[in-house]
Amino acid sequence: MFGRTSKKDYVILVLVVLVCVEGFLLADIYQRYSFMLESLSQPANALMPFEAPFNASEVRAFLEAQYVPEIGLLRASTIPGGDAERVYIASDNLLASKALEVLASPIAYNVSRTLMFYYNCGYNGQHEILLGVKASYIGGGGSLLMLGEVYSEKFGIVFTVCWEIHDSPGHPHGGYADLMVYMALNSLLDGDVEEALKLMDELMSRWDGYGFRDSAWGGWYESYKLALAVFLWRALNVAVPGYFKYANVIARITHDIAPHVCMDWKKGIRTHYRVVDGRVIPEGDCNVETTSIYVLAYLSDVPVKIGLTAKECYSEKTVDVFRG
């Protein structure tokens, strides 16, 4: 009796142990599975569009309305005279080609093809950095090339085709917010995250609660610089794990400032704004360059790709530091 009971107890004990082990194994498998799902979801979440202060379909309609079929590119702006009668290879159409692609516009192919076949993809030594391409002459000198005139039956006017070129070595940013961003993005592509972080700090030192008072300040704020700050912040947020510095500024830009320049009667994005008694008042024209920069900053994956490029280098440096 005693022997049989001990054997039975032994069997029960073994079964209990097996059940416990199986439970631990299942828990471990579940934990690993959950971690795997979380890891797989992170790149997808990072590539998701950032919350935008504008209506994407209206912005797409605005950009498409500026298309000049006789040239295969977009005119610069809408107010009669001046830039409304010009077609800029760069920066306007260079940036618009990607913005139209992001917005799934059928004319994106036409614009990209025109730039590729006739204008060396539209690169100008500076603004291609916003497409994730290393720029050689940020802040450098250059010229505005006048390439010819084309009559458009669609608009009933003659357009001048221009190309802004930067072809000499870059200089210090000179206190200009846009150049700070371009230089920081170039640094990220070089893997120099520390320099990019310093430039972000310097950029934010110009923030006054409503916009950036840089060397170009003249009483009106330039709205595209808001989008550039968002662009750089998104890249740094990917490049540096746990980077949320200035998140409150980015939130204020997105929710409190930018919506005022993104809701226009022509559905484009205004170039300037001023602040009177705490009220944001949009000014200037709706143009292709500003609108395209907003699309790239908020809806494209370019900032994420730049951040991922820098993240690999940054992680390697961090490991080396820990190793001492």
pLDDT for 204-262, tens place per residue?
Answer: 999 999 999 999 999 999 999 999 999 999 999 999 988 999 999 999 999 999 999 99
According to DSSP, residue 116 is labeled H
32 falls within a domain: no
Instruction: Specify the 3-state DSSP secondary structure of 53.
Output: coil
- pLDDT of the residue at 47: 42
State the Cα–Cα distance between residues 172 and 150, nearest whole angstrom: 38
Interhelix angle for 302-323 vs 224-239, to 10°? 40
Q: How far is the CA of 45 from the CAs of 31, 99, 189, 219, in angstroms?
A: 21, 20, 21, 39
The fraction of the chain above a pLDDT of 70, given in percent, is 81
pLDDT for the residue numbered 315: 56
Q: Which domain holds residue 246?
A: 49-323
Q: Is residue 240 part of a domain?
A: yes
Domain count, the chain: 1
Nearest alpha-carbon partner for 265 in 91, 65, 105, 76: 65
pLDDT for 82 equals 83
Per DSSP (E only), the strands in the chain are: 67-68, 73-74, 86-88, 142-152, 157-166, 221-222, 270-276, 279-286
Residue 17 maps to a domain? no
- With residue 95 as reference, give the H or E element that holds it: helix 94-102
> Does residue 7 belong to any structural domain of this protein?
no
User: Which token pair is 63?
Assistant: 């950009």
Q: Would you call 110 exposed, middle or buried from its count of C-beta atoms within 10 A (0-12, 13-18, 19+)?
A: middle
**How far is the CA of 38 from the CAs of 21, 122, 239, in angstroms?**
26, 39, 18
Q: Do residues 293 and 95 lie in contact, with contact meaning Cβ atoms separated by under 8 Å?
A: yes
CB 222 within 8 A of CB 294: no
Rounded to a whole number, what is the distance in angstroms from the first to the last CA of the chain?
67
pLDDT for the residue 141: 86
- Helix, strand, or coil here: 169? coil
Residue 274, in any domain of the structure = yes
Asked if the structure places residue 165 within a domain, the reply is yes
37 CB burial (10 A radius; 0-12, 13-18, 19+): exposed
Residue 170 belongs to a domain: yes
Q: pTM here?
A: 0.82
Q: Which residues of the chain have pLDDT under 70?
A: 1-50, 265, 314-324
Domain assignment present for residue 29? The answer is no
- Tally of residues, the chain: 324
